[in-house]
Structure 1
């Protein structure tokens, strides 16, 4: 395919974009040779994104259950010095491995205990996922596609928002994005034997980190993807390039020490973790987290909303080319900025887009048929979707891109008009007043989204296609960051942060803080003091079963301790307070709409 020799003329660039390169043979791109002005703009945009990415970590209060739970587990880990046996409210908590909590505890040790420190692990995981996805896409499909992959992930609310919530799902997704990226790097036809070995060992290491983050899914999901890819591509040669011997050694070196130590110290761990938390969780509704078969469909559409219009083209991209045809990269023998990249001299049947598509579909199906479903489970599919979307964008002409912007603008306008619906909600026992305030932030979000579409459309009309795509992605990132920050109108009252200073002034380190028929996931973090559970163990049932002396199983036992064991505080729901206030001495220390904190002394 011939291309014009000069790229300084916008009209010529437009002509280049109107004749996209076939998906099976990407050509060298003129924009890969950037001038200083372009580099300055890139550096400025990256710096601005990083400022927003990390600068907003402390602008919201922690919400339960996940954010408060993992923040408090990490705080107790640092306070006790026990980095092996995980505890929550001083009780054994074996539902998840420790990697996420280790990173958070290190952040506490380095920077102090706080909200942004509690979210630092997920922020780093999300940023690492963007960087590694960009690197792999760049390697296979060129610099422009690599940058577009980063923009897609940044503008996808499921990724950028999840990277600012303190949950294990984002840490797992970050590790698995590295697994996918390092696999793609290792399978590149121009990789040397030493390079392939290094990337594959890194791939095995990232699977080990994933196992230490959330268990066996860290190896089960990549294994499922490889099996499905081999069947769909009819290519079993991939399995011979995985460096099994050294790779398994790396995997075991990363994972075995902690599993061996915790099993040695806690004989009950193995059965609970591997049988209850893996097999029973997946095959039954033991945690009451069931959902319909299509549970994740709206989550994927909403989580990739700015790019959802690309789904049909992404489907065609992953199916492009016959079996045995791969995307080839430019070799050192490229003769000019517009030359078609020559195929590798070595026969190579690996299909990176097919692997990315199988990755997304296999993981989606795996969790869809599970009996246990939560929104965060599906986050690991987003980097694979970003690779597909980036390649589609890289080969999209100006006319097709303008159509995508038209659809996005219509969606933004409809969502803006529908935003008052948020002000009518009363979900999750949250007062409607908080939702009415949040509805304003939702309206601002979709107004910004619409403004971003308008600006991107203006740039596209002037044949500045790359600038239009980048502007659109950054505008989506800003818009959904505003929605995230605005959610503190709901999250702050939920967190108990407003009453925590009053409670902390009354609470001494030796004084018990009882959780009466309630497991408050956030207040313990804010007052830096664990709960002693009373009457209902909630999700700490396993902990109280193996350490029954660490809780009050009945209200009668609590009443005896409340009256005779010295000064104490207790947190409970307003309903429980009304039931118990006339039966035992209770002096209100602080209260909000969700909880009442009382003392047994005036």
Structure 2
């Protein structure tokens, strides 16, 4: 390890950064995209005791396996409160990914490489964003990074079958967390041309046993969830479960990859993601790429495996027509490990220092400019934009104050650290950004974004004794309802939901109300009696009393009936 003062300073810096990633936990509710859906499924698991099949309301949720929902439910059991629980799995996974990244770089090179690799990962916008969201992707990154940590140690340092089994187990568990968790196994492809020629690593003495350990580890990982599912399919005669298994095992994996029906993007889409969401670390690519190329030409196995695997992942996701920015996030820790030994020298170069200082100055000026405008006197165009997102002037002013504070502190970091310590200024500025984001910006818009405000208004209007049902709803509405509510399905066509809703309303029209999306109102509602409720998540919602539905009227198929927003 380096000298004690340097180690202590790095530890304090990491504690500061870890705290910034957690800042704001407990100050907001689950927000789209994805967070309300996963919390809703986890909540249903806790209530019903059914841990095998996640549900979104009354319907089975077959888009993702339940592993992440298990983690959310465990966090809820630990804390006793959803606000304090739902961000914990992502935060813990982020810390695990950071430690694994730094430790792998340390083992492959030296302690300074480990420190710089971990800090480089923390300095990427996308990593911080996912650490502060209750989505599957950060947990997936922790699992893929653990798998790479073990597999690269096995291939480059020590042919210990336990490392191989751990690596394949983590890949298997990642696969039943999100289908692409198997991707670390692709590291064997760039290793094949190098096998037997890696200095200091003897071939496995019992290759057959090692192969068995690797296969067994992967099967054990996927078996955590797939084993109980297959057992249930073989012992239960349940058509709903069979449809669920077919959907999640085939449609949501192979079909979704090869013939995606949403998030359609061009082949170069991920270059745009790297250039934007991987800032400010992406600013170093003009220096990193030539340095990496020189090491690849020397056939250094460490860079061959790290960069070869990252390129395979990029090609894998680019080949699918369906693309989202978070898909390539598992690449980022590997690239930070590959950059770790180069960063100490690069950060001493004036060009790198100027690029980082220029970016921080741009962030500070933009935050100050927008913040002061929003706080002291927003122009009409900004007021109109805020109104479309259901932000009132008070909320806009709050956002402005926080952005102003962000600009001031980032500017102070640049001045205090100077050009020669631009790397430190960057890391400190990211800590400030995530603290402001978690404590100020997201809580300011939480009432609208989480659906809490509109559901409280619905409850106030209908009174405490009325009954409420949902039609055309989103997960946050069911999660934020102030009373037990009825729903008629999530993916069912609206006209089919209306058949059940009309019958339910007719049983007690004076006491029953329907919370409904404006596009789903249909021709059977007397709008003179219905009440426009407001805008939430950029959609308009209505309250329909039972007396406003015309008796005997049947809602035809509505055109268009858009599918609910696709999950991540």
Give the TM-score, by structure 1 length: 0.75
Please tell me whether the aligned partners of residues 140 and 178 of structure 2 are also in contact (alpha carbons under 8 angstroms). Answer: yes
Q: CA deviation at 1:73?
A: 0.7
Distance 1:255 1:523, change over 3 A: same
Whether the 8 Å CA contact 1:71–1:104 is kept in 2: the answer is: yes
CA contact (8 A) 2:168 2:214 kept: yes
| Deviation larger for 351-360 or 446-455 | 446-455
Contact 1:409–1:454 (Cα < 8 Å) also in 2: no
Partner of 1:371: 321
1:144 to 112, 120, 134: 112
- Kept in 1: contact 2:529–2:544 (CA 8 A): no
C-alpha separation between the residues in 2 aligned to 1:436 and 1:319? 47
Aligned residue in 2 for 1:13: none
Query: Whole-Å Cα distance in 1 between the matches of residues 196 and 386 of structure 2?
Result: 50
Which of these residues, 352, 363, 388, is aligned with residue 412 of structure 1? 363
Query: What's the CA shift for 1:511?
Result: 9.1
Residue in 1 that maps onto 2:526: 582
- Can you list the C-alpha shifts for 1:440-493, whole angstroms capped at 9, x where unaligned? 6556545544443333325x2xxxx5xx53342132232244245414444431
Looking at structure 1, the residues matched to 278 and 184 of structure 2 have their Cα atoms a distance apart, in angstroms, of 22
The CA deviation at 1:95 is 1.2
* Contact preservation (8 Å) 1:532, 1:552: no
Unaligned runs of 5+ in 1: 1-31, 327-350, 545-550
Partners of 1:149 and 1:389 within 8 A in 2? yes
Aligned to 2:516: 572
Alignment correspondent of 1:380:
330
Distance change (3 Å), C-alpha of 1:184 and 1:320: farther
**Aligned match for 1:310, one of 277, 284, 292:** 284
Give the equivalent residue in structure 2 for 1:208.
172
Aligned to 2:181: 218
1:338-353 equivalent positions in 2, closer than 5 A: 351-353=301-303
Q: Distance in 2 between matches of 1:369 and 1:441?
A: 41
Return closer, same or farther for 1:175/1:599 CA change in 2, 3 Å cut-off.
Answer: farther
Superimposed CA distance per residue, residues 205-249 of structure 1 (whole angstroms, 9 cap, x where no aligned partner): 21122112112x111x2234432x247x65587997693211221
Shift in Å at residue 373 of structure 1?
1.8
Deviation sequence 1:21-52 (CA, Å, 0-9, x none): xxxxxxxxxxx4323x4444344333333333
Do 1:496 and 1:592's aligned partners in 2 also have CA atoms closer than 8 Å? no
Q: 1:134 to 1:168 in 2, by over 3 A?
A: same
Aligned partners of 1:529, 1:447: CA distance in 2, in Å? 44
Task: Give the aligned partner of residue 33 of structure 1.
Answer: 2
Partner of 1:478: 432
**Residue deviations 1:284-321 (CA, integer Å, cap 9, x gap):** 242x2211222222322222212222112222333233
Q: Which moved more, 1:107-116 or 1:500-509?
A: 500-509
SS of 2:418's equivalent? helix
Contact in 1 for aligned 2:516/2:542 (Cα 8 Å): yes
Q: Quick check: 2:310–2:335 contact (8 Å CA) kept in 1?
A: yes
* Counterpart-to-counterpart distance in 1, 2:451 and 2:21: 25
Separation (CA, whole Å) in 2 of partners of 1:601 and 1:89: 26
Displacement of 1:392 in angstroms is 2.2
Residue 178 of structure 1 contacts residue 206 of structure 1 at CA under 8 Å; is this kept in 2? Answer: yes
Matches within 5 A, 1:54-133: 54-133=22-101
Distance verdict in 2 for CA 1:211–1:322, change over 3 Å: closer
User: What RMSD over aligned residues (CA atoms) do the two structures have, in Å?
Assistant: 3.8
Write the distance in 1 (CA, Å) between the matches of 2:72 and 2:293. Answer: 41
The answer to whether the Cα contact below 8 Å between 2:93 and 2:139 also exists between their aligned partners in 1 is yes
User: How far, CA to CA, are the matches of 1:530 and 1:247 in structure 2?
Assistant: 48
1:259 maps to what in 2?
226
Deviations 1:477-523 (A, max 9, x none): 3224424541444443121223445667999999975322x231212
In 2, Cα distance between equivalents of 1:385 and 1:212: 24
In the alignment, is the contact (CA less than 8 A) between 1:309 and 1:407 conserved in 2? no
Equivalent residues of 1:500, 1:527 under 8 A apart:
yes
> How far did residue 146 of structure 1 move?
0.9
- For the residue of structure 2 that corresponds to 1:161, the secondary structure is helix
Specify whether residues 317 and 568 from structure 1 end up closer, same or farther in structure 2 by C-alpha distance, changes over 3 A only.
farther
Residue 14 of structure 1 corresponds to none
CA deviations on 1:343-389 (whole Å, 9 max, x unpaired) are xxxxxxxx222322223322222222312122221221221222233
Does the CA-based 8 Å contact 1:138-1:145 persist in structure 2? yes
Bigger RCO of structures 1 and 2 (CA < 8 A, at least 6 apart): 1
Query: 2:141 aligned with 1:173, yes or no?
Result: yes
Choose the corresponding residue for 1:244, options 198, 211, 214: 211
Counterpart-to-counterpart distance in 1, 2:143 and 2:483: 31
Contact 2:367–2:407 (8 Å) recurs in 1? yes
What is aligned with 1:334?
Answer: none
Contact 2:356 2:423 in 1 (8 A): no
Instruction: Measure, in 1, the Cα distance between the counterparts of 2:463 and 2:224.
Output: 37
Structure 1: distance between partners of 2:242 and 2:197: 41
- Residue 118 of structure 1 deviates from its aligned partner by 1.3
Choose the corresponding residue for 1:430, options 389, 401, 424.
389
